[in-house]
Amino acid sequence: KQEVTQIPAALSVPEGENLVLNCSFTDSAIYNLQWFRQDPGKGLTSLLLIQSSQREQTSGRLNASLDKSSGRSTLYIAASQPGDSATYLCAVLSNDYKLSFGAGTTVTVRA
Amino acid sequence: GAVVSQHPSWVICKSGTSVKIECRSLDFQATTMFWYRQFPKQSLMLMATSNEGSKATYEQGVEKDKFLINHASLTLSTLTVTSAHPEDSSFYICSARVDRVDSGNTIYFGEGSWLTVV
pLDDT tens-digit profile of A15-61? 999 999 999 999 999 988 999 999 987 888 889 999 899 999 999 99
pLDDT at B57 over 70: yes
Task: Give the gap in angstroms from C-alpha A39 to the nearest C-alpha of chain B.
Answer: 11
- With CB atoms and an 8 Å threshold, state whether B112 touches A34: no
Please tell me the distance from the alpha carbon of residue A25 to that of residue A33, in angstroms, as a whole number.
10
Give the CA-trace dihedral at A78, A83, A88, A92, to 10 degrees.
-70
With beta carbons less than 8 A apart as the criterion, state whether A109 and A85 touch: yes
Nearest-neighbour CA in chain B from A54: distance (Å): 12
In this model, does residue B101 exceed pLDDT 70? no
Mutation target for A interface from B24, B109, B113: give the one with most A CBs within 10 A. Answer: B109
pLDDT mean over A73-95:
95
Residue A65 exposure: Cα atoms within 13 Å on the Cβ side: 10
Mean local confidence (pLDDT), B89-97: 93
pLDDT of residue B102: 67
Mean pLDDT of all residues in B71-93: 94
Q: Average pLDDT over chain B, rounded to whole?
A: 90
What is the overall mean pLDDT for chain A? 93
* Cβ contacts of A103 within 8 Å, gap of 6 or more: A5, A6, A9, B42, B43
B107 and chain A: CB distance < 8 Å anywhere?
A: yes
pLDDT of B1 above 60: no
3-state secondary structure of A45: strand
Q: B47 to each of A78, B1, B106, B111, how far by Cα in Å?
A: 35, 26, 19, 17
Asked if B7 and B111 count as a contact pair (C-beta separation under 8 A), the reply is no
Phi-psi region of A16 (alpha: psi -120 to 50; beta: other; left: phi over 0): left
For an interface test with B, give the residue of A5, A53, A89, A97 to mutate (most B CBs within 10 A): A97
Kindly determine whether residue B34 and residue A101, on different chains, have CB atoms separated by under 8 Å: no
